[in-house]
Amino acid sequence: MSEAWWKRSVVYQIYPRSFCDSNGDGIGDLAGITARLDHLQQLGVDVVWLSPVYKSPNDDNGYDISDYRDIMDEFGTMADFDVMLAAMHERGLKLMMDLVVNHTSDEHAWFQQARRSRDNPYHDYYIWREPKDGREPNNWEAAFSGSAWEWNEATGEYYLHMFSRKQPDLNWENPKVRAEVFEMMQFWLAKGVDGFRMDVINMISKPYRADGSLPDAPVVRPGFLQPGFGLVTNGPRLLEFLREMKQQVLSHHDGITVGEAPLATITQGVEITHEDSGALNMLFQFEHMELDSVAGHPNGKWALKALDLRDLKATMSRWQDALHGRGWNSLYLGNHDQPRPVSRFGDDERWRVESAKMLGTWLHMMQGTPYVYQGEELGMTNMPFASVDDLRDIESINVYQVAVGERGEDPAQVFAAILAKGRDNARTPVQWDATPNAGFSSGRPWIAVNPNCSDVNAAQALADPDSVFHHYRRLIELRRRHPVIVHGRHALLLPDDPQVYAYTRTLGGQTLLVVCNFGDQSPSFSWPAPLRGSRASLLIANLAVAEPAVAADFTLRPYEARVYLCQGEAS
Ligand code: NOJ
């Protein structure tokens, strides 16, 4: 097992628009990030993943890039970026940029050229198709609703966009596109950045048929457009493109890479992150994010279903076990696309602090590189949006219009799904203190601040040794001290228990035992037979536990989490 630095690291994700606003325009910015680096240093993270800061018309908050080598006006200048990067490096923090190269903005110079004429040198940078029977070339629905094809009058063709119509997909079959992307990556590496998070990277190879057409997706919602994502993820040339990127760019730097890979299977995960033959360090896989939606439902993530903890155990364990010693993975419960974990998997009212700590413990003791999304370390919760007018996210706004306006679904039910799963939940401003606008901005924030900011904020959390923040800090510290947390072999206990999630990690004669209560009942826990009578010390817990800890059965309190280090092997 090689000792790569990114295996020992913890990553903190910054969504710059909502992190900290330094100039009072209501939008977070780079100088705001620089001003708040103490917070990250106190938490003890190693790497920052910065969501896109490039020039963008903001149809999708920066995931629609119009210039890869310049900074978004609202976020500052390249000089601000250089100052921020130097400040991070001075503190020993590394910086991972967001690489969004499945698509550009339609305002990117390449697309502006490409759409002019069929013989423009940039035309082939994008994916164009003739109408089929006078209409869109196939039945795919874009991620942000509507057809995945948009008509372009000047060339008499449609272009493909898997997200909004302002995010045309790049044509990776064209070697010039790949060369442009690789050069752009070199540009940022030459500035000193330490790696890339790759946006929907497993969508770059499209499933062309021999005649160049793109097949219809299976019909799951008769009479409407169909989700096409199952067809465009993990395409035939994906691994080849990634290996080329590795050979041209990544292999020359000791950086960190994580590929966002919706619908990736474990086989693909092993292939892409394989220690010898893979191309990326780790993936963001989505299986555990899909367990609280009805499988196969045409409404996708919006078709809500209560999580069955046994499904989470089965999914996580399959990934933990399959990658051990072969590949690597990221560990995450939240990011800018997901609701807040404490609201989704814990209890964000009575047991907010306990359940936020439990979830952090559960995640950070697993095998992989943990990611902390801004505000997660404070136990920030979902947002009680009052109406559709308060939403800012293109995905939620469009899905509401289409589901209610076109498909005639019940508005209350659609809004309830948005409250539970909408991306704006994670995008409300970071709550720094109890001053107006939670200390995020002196101006009017671009999206409302969560009203619980007077209780839930960083100033309060730092001052309270029992806060979620200090618990996360201790979890991060433990990873640094105990190789078993980084490299131990995982084994699931109690696969059929619907409330207690327990697992072990084993390395060199030591076993880490992690026991988490995912509910508000008080179940009992019996020590696994091989560890009975072994010497055990309590490494961390979210509730006071009487010392000295001995290997004795115990009753768990609501949302309790305990981690023991035992001398001896459990498996
Ligand atoms: C995944 C990103 O995380 C999300 O925020 C974005 O909307 C899509 N990719 C499109 O870039």
Instruction: Tell me, using a 6 A CB cutoff, whether residue 337 lines ligand 1.
Output: yes
pLDDT computed for residue 1 by the predictor: 44
| Positions marked catalytic | 199, 260
Instruction: Tell me, using a 6 A CB cutoff, whether residue 199 lines ligand 1.
Output: yes
**pLDDT tens digits, one per residue of 317-337:** 999 999 999 999 999 999 999
pLDDT grade for 534, boundaries at 50, 70 and 90: confident
Ligand 1 atom closest to residue 100's alpha carbon, by position in its atom list? 11
Instruction: Tell me, using a 6 A CB cutoff, whether residue 284 lines ligand 1.
Output: no
Strand-pair partners of 524 = 555
Closest residue CA from atom 6 of ligand 1? 63
Query: Is the full-model pTM beyond 0.85?
Result: yes
**pLDDT tens digits, one per residue of 278-292:** 999 999 999 999 999
Which of 60, 301, 336, 399, when mutated, tests ligand 1's pocket best, judged by the most ligand atoms within 8 Å of its CB?
60
How many CB atoms lie under 10 A from the CB of residue 266? 17
**Cβ–Cβ under 8 Å, residues 501 and 531:** no
Instruction: Tell me, using a 6 A CB cutoff, whether residue 60 lines ligand 1.
Output: yes
CA 199 / ligand 1 centre spacing (Å)? 6
Instruction: Tell me, using a 6 A CB cutoff, whether residue 309 lines ligand 1.
Output: no
pLDDT grade for 497, boundaries at 50, 70 and 90: very high
pLDDT computed for residue 302 by the predictor: 97
pLDDT grade for 113, boundaries at 50, 70 and 90: very high
How many CB atoms lie under 10 A from the CB of residue 170? 24
**pLDDT tens digits, one per residue of 247-272:** 999 999 999 999 999 999 999 999 99
pLDDT computed for residue 450 by the predictor: 98
CA 145 / ligand 1 centre spacing (Å)? 14
pLDDT(548) > 60: no
pLDDT computed for residue 571 by the predictor: 58
CA 63 / ligand 1 centre spacing (Å)? 6
Instruction: Tell me, using a 6 A CB cutoff, whether residue 15 lines ligand 1.
Output: no
CA dist., res. 215 & res. 375, Å (int) = 42
Ligand 1 atom closest to residue 144's alpha carbon, by position in its atom list? 7
Query: Would residue 125 be called left, alpha or beta, if left means φ above 0 and alpha means ψ between -120 and 50 degrees?
Result: alpha
Closest residue CA from atom 8 of ligand 1? 63
**pLDDT tens digits, one per residue of 19-44:** 999 999 999 999 999 999 999 999 99
Instruction: Please choose, from the candidates 392, 406, 412, the residue with its C-alpha nearest in 3D space to the C-alpha of residue 146.
Output: 406
91 by Cβ neighbours in 10 Å (0-12 / 13-18 / 19+) ranks as: exposed
**Mean pLDDT (the chain, rounded):** 96
Instruction: Tell me, using a 6 A CB cutoff, whether residue 518 lines ligand 1.
Output: no
Alpha carbon distances (Å) from 226 to 218, 232, 299, 373, 391: 7, 13, 10, 32, 25
CA 265 / ligand 1 centre spacing (Å)? 19
Which of 65, 100, 201, 338, when mutated, tests ligand 1's pocket best, judged by the most ligand atoms within 8 Å of its CB?
100
> Which H or E element spans position 505?
strand 500-507
Domains by residue range for the chain, with CATH? 8-100+337-383+428-481 (3.20.20.80), 109-160 (3.90.400.10), 488-567 (2.60.40.1180)
How many CB atoms lie under 10 A from the CB of residue 277? 10
Instruction: Please choose, from the candidates 513, 520, 523, the residue with its C-alpha nearest in 3D space to the C-alpha of residue 484.
Output: 513
CA 53 / ligand 1 centre spacing (Å)? 13
Which of 97, 108, 197, 200, when mutated, tests ligand 1's pocket best, judged by the most ligand atoms within 8 Å of its CB?
200
Looking at residues 397-406, what average pLDDT do you find? 96
**pLDDT tens digits, one per residue of 183-221:** 999 999 999 999 999 999 999 999 999 999 999 999 999
Which of 145, 337, 425, when mutated, tests ligand 1's pocket best, judged by the most ligand atoms within 8 Å of its CB?
337
Closest residue CA from atom 5 of ligand 1? 337
Percent of the chain at pLDDT exceeding 70: 98
Instruction: Tell me, using a 6 A CB cutoff, whether residue 64 lines ligand 1.
Output: no
pLDDT computed for residue 550 by the predictor: 61
pLDDT computed for residue 530 by the predictor: 86
